[in-house]
Structure 1
Amino acid sequence: MDLERFFHVAIKTDDLEASTAFYRDALGGDLLESGDAGDGSEYVALSVADKRVYCFERPPYEIDGLVDDVPLGVLHFGFVVPDVDAAIETLDAAGTELFMTPETFGDLRIAFVYGPAGELVEFIEER
């Protein structure tokens, strides 16, 4: 599989202000953007070291009902790929368990699989 780059870590938090302060103030991150993730749920994106950290009250795929409610903490980490559908086909054929089949959110096409320890791995196609 052709991974273009490691892109981000996503976190679900019940205190967006505290999470933002931690990654911005304690770890020296820069606020990149913030806004409505959907259904009135807020998010922030920060640049921490050389990667992005997204903090969500509820992630969009949970808000849209594509998955059940997910617990607080690290949601997933994401890799950019040239073709998310092809990446998921390859992983599915290899027996990797899918968490969420490819879906389009704005200018992104995303999908998730379970890693061997149960961690979620996101694949992102930027359109």
Structure 2
Amino acid sequence: MAADRLDHFFIEPSDFDATVAFYRDGLGWLVRFEWGGQGAPRGVALSGGEVGVVLAERHPAEDHSKSHGINGHRPTLHFKVADLDARYAALQAQGLPLFAPEATHWGTRWFVVKDPDGNLLAFESA
């Protein structure tokens, strides 16, 4: 059995500032790191303890992070895996991944699958 561990979910909010305020100020989640600003699309990773949320403004990307746009503003679940290539091979044998493992612009490697309802599940490793 795979040992995928839910790490965070990704949201591309319609109102970035209001959504950050909701998680940070309303729920009291801690900011782990932020990026962008000064004309660049902004993003923030917050932690609610065992699970986190990554909020990011819409942005063009050379990597497949643009795949989040497949679902508009629907969340993407991110799972940490110990062996990304082995997990990819197992899921690829079933025809599930949308693309092969690749480097992300935030410093990990990942691939993404889509469930029958179109929800995205990202599998990542450092």
Q: TM-score range by the shorter chain?
A: 0.7 to 0.9
Indicate whether 1:28 and 2:28 are aligned.
Answer: yes
TM-score between both structures, scaled by the size of structure 1: 0.81
CA-to-aligned-CA distance 1:70-89 (integer Å, 9 cap, x gap): 15423411111112122111
Contact 2:68-2:76 at 8 Å conserved across structures: no
SS of residue paired to 1:89: helix
Amino acid at match of 1:34: E
> Counterpart in 2 of 1:57?
57
Amino acid at match of 1:110: W
Shift of 1:21: 0.3
Aligned residues: 122
Distance 1:95 1:69, change over 3 A: closer
> Which stretches in structure 2 are left out of the alignment for 5+ residues?
none
Shift of 1:2: 2.7
RMSD: 2.4
Amino acid at match of 2:120: L
SS of residue paired to 1:50: coil
Distance 1:57 1:101, change over 3 A: same
Amino acid at match of 1:64: E
Which one has the bigger strand percentage?
1
> Counterpart in 2 of 1:85?
85
- Partners of 2:122 and 2:113 lie apart in 1 by 7
> Counterpart in 1 of 2:42?
42
Shift of 1:107: 3.9
> Which stretches in structure 1 are left out of the alignment for 5+ residues?
none
Distance 1:30 1:76, change over 3 A: same
> Counterpart in 2 of 1:114?
114
